[in-house]
Structure 1
Amino acid sequence: MYNRYKQNIGILTPGENKKLKNLKICVIGCGGLGGYIIDMLSRLGVGYITCVDGDFFEESNLNRQLYCNEKNLGLNKAKCVKEKVKQINSSIYINAIDKFLEENNSINILRNHDLIIDAIDNIKGRFIIQDTCKILKTPIIHGAISGWYGQVTTILPGDDSLNYIYKNKENEIKNNLGNPSFTPAHVASIQVSESIKLLFNKGEILSGKILLVDLLYNDQNIISINKNN
């Protein structure tokens, strides 16, 4: 299997590359962000990936969701992702959960993972992830997209970063900017690289900071999450 992963060497040592197979990562959402995230994790060789989504592919997903195609419209996203990922890397385990993450099932779904990746599209769900991971002491990589724009932050155990990003967690933000194919791919790649940095203690992670991406004007800014405001 060396040839499969030889291009990992350089950003990872051979020893770190072997440790990938022992990692357990849970991705919440298998759509725009989630599909790309799961694809990248499986190609890297992460040994255990839980993918969670109670939604079904529909025609409007075809423009951006990696695993959506004309033949699987109407089928559950998590189950479809599992079948496709098995074709990419049969040596890893995919745990497909065809349910939405909710308060009454979040502990059971999120427990026993090294990392949780937030790839959902609603604020309420993000707070369920944060509140549950605070109990479980599990880090989160948060990502969100809208039109040309995206954001990524790393939430370490006990941190409440989402409280300062979404100060009114009861109000959903209506997306009037659309979502093309390239924004989720770009933001997902940042989330995956942030995951690798966090898990292998490399570089600088976005803890206490948020990366704001503007693809329209080729602008990226990192700002501190001001918890005093």
Structure 2
Amino acid sequence: MNPLFWLNAQARDGIVSGAALAVAVERFGLSWAEAELLALENGLLPARYQRNQKMLSTAEQLRLARSRVAVIGCGGLGGYVLEELARLGVGHLVAVDPDVFEEHNLNRQLLATPALLGTAKVEAAVARLGVVNPAVTVLPAPEAFSVANGAVLLAGCALAVDALDSIPVRLELAAVCAGLEIPLVHGAIAGWYGQVTTQFPGDTTLADSYTRSGTGIEKELGNPSFTPALVASLEAAEVCKVLLGRGTPLRRRTLVIDLLEMEFVERLD
């Protein structure tokens, strides 16, 4: 019996359970990624994505599984972005961050726990996402992003996600994405406030929005638990739309968020 025959025999109404995939992994020596791809390529939807089904087709789920996305920064924004993309089913994630967890990260960073203080953020991302969705390949890059290594870190990626807290590095990321001709989904947070936009090749949204100063105003205004969760979710939605060519991305416009007054304003760029 081959693995596809097994999966077809176990499927019900085009959906194959995680238990059946686990048997395929064990019996036929497949990785979880290979087992899920085999199912999706043959029109079978892994049950873990069942609740995606009303908004995403099986073909679109396959496209996500074949996609590669880089998340630059694995802290407040990046931890949430990584987890949401993994749960969505984006098959290849590059996690870039040179830092380790410190105690002040515990109030808002999804990947941070007291037991992981001193642990590299990218190592925590690999461990966490391996439990959340073993079919997702996470490539850790425990280094600071720069124009010198940017093209290597983003090689093969369909797009990049900005989860940084440094304006100069953010602008370097935008420049590297422009050179590689890939979109950049940008998010920024500070206290009650945040913003999201998506820059496509040829656009200059970020360069027009920022001057080359140090960190943003996050260190002045702080960050609670909910601001990064919200902004990261909006970034994940933008990633999904761009990868699938669906909907209207935030191109040449920035969604500015004020959670204190509960106002969402669109700024045209």
TM-score by length of structure 1 reads 0.95
**Residue from 60, 66, 72 that aligns with 2:116:** 72
Superposed CA deviations along residues 166-189 of structure 1, whole A, max 9, x for unmatched, are 1x2235434311100000000000
**Residue from 124, 132, 135 that aligns with 1:91:** 135
Superposed CA deviations along residues 45-70 of structure 1, whole A, max 9, x for unmatched, are 11000000001100000000001001
Equivalence for 1:169: 212
Superposed, 1:111-122 pairs within 5 Å as 111-122=155-166
Letter matched to residue 213 of structure 2: E
Please give the alpha-carbon distance, in whole angstroms, between the structure 2 residues aligned to 1:17 and 1:202: 13
Superposed, 1:148-163 pairs within 5 Å as 148-163=192-207
Gap change, CA 1:74 and 1:171, over 3 Å in 2: closer
Offset at 1:74?
A: 0.8
- The structure with higher relative contact order (CA 8 Å, sep 6+) is 1
Gap change, CA 1:69 and 1:172, over 3 Å in 2: closer
Asked whether the 8 Å contact 1:79–1:97 carries over to 2, the reply is: no
**Residue from 97, 105, 123 that aligns with 1:53:** 97
SS at match of 1:78: helix
SS at match of 2:182: coil
Superposed CA deviations along residues 93-116 of structure 1, whole A, max 9, x for unmatched, are 000101110221111111210010
Equivalence for 2:34: none
Equivalence for 1:214: 258
Of structures 1 and 2, the larger Rg is shown by: 2
Please give the alpha-carbon distance, in whole angstroms, between the structure 2 residues aligned to 1:87 and 1:224: 40
Give me the CA root mean square deviation.
1.1
Superposed CA deviations along residues 179-206 of structure 1, whole A, max 9, x for unmatched, are 0000000000000001111121222111
Asked whether the 8 Å contact 1:57–1:72 carries over to 2, the reply is: yes
SS at match of 2:115: coil
Please give the alpha-carbon distance, in whole angstroms, between the structure 2 residues aligned to 1:139 and 1:30: 19
Please give the alpha-carbon distance, in whole angstroms, between the structure 1 residues aligned to 2:136 and 2:129: 9
The answer to whether 1:101 aligns with 2:145 is yes
Gap change, CA 1:173 and 1:93, over 3 Å in 2: closer
Which segments of 5 or more consecutive residues in structure 1 lack a partner in the other structure?
none
Equivalence for 2:249: 205
Asked whether the 8 Å contact 1:153–1:209 carries over to 2, the reply is: yes
Asked whether the 8 Å contact 1:117–1:142 carries over to 2, the reply is: yes
As a proportion of its length, which structure holds more helix?
Answer: 2
SS at match of 1:27: strand
Q: How many residues align?
A: 224
Letter matched to residue 168 of structure 2: K
